[in-house]
Amino acid sequence: MRNWKKATMIMLMGLLVAGPIAPHYALAQGNMPSEGAHTALAAAQAAQDKAAKDLHETMASMDSMKKMPMTANEKEMMKMMGQMADTIKNLTEANKQLIEAIKELRKAQTGPK
């Protein structure tokens, strides 16, 4: 039962760190064709939304599990998972801000319509 929590956190971190970073840079530089840029930005937004949803579900599960009786080791593991969740929350927020900044850059590059 404990392994799925660890695997979930690792997968979320991988998604947040590795997934949308490359498209952000390319979009900000304007090196991608307009259609490709739109597709990449949409994919980054979808990944961000999924990560935020997964984090919310994981946090809800962790909150309910904290109410169960636990050993000292399990309590320590829950504490560490809480710290990892805080880190992931910070990464999702940074990713969200990057996506918004790229959207603003794209608007500035294309000009008013």
Tell me what pLDDT residue 102 has. 85
Give residue 26's identity as a one-letter amino acid code.
Answer: A
CB 81 within 8 A of CB 9: yes
Count the neighbouring beta carbons within 10 Å of the beta carbon of residue 64: 9
Tell me what pLDDT residue 85 has. 87
The residues of the chain scoring below 70 in pLDDT are 1-34, 111-113
User: How much of the chain exceeds pLDDT 70, in percent?
Assistant: 67
78-102: per-residue pLDDT in tens?
A: 888 888 888 888 888 888 898 888 8
Residue 23 burial class via C-beta count within 10 angstroms: exposed 0-12, middle 13-18, buried 19 and up: buried
What angle, rounded to 10 degrees, do the helices at 34-65 and 72-110 form? 160
Tell me what pLDDT residue 10 has. 67
* pTM for this model (two decimals): 0.61
Q: Is 81 helix (H, G, I), strand (E, B) or coil?
A: helix
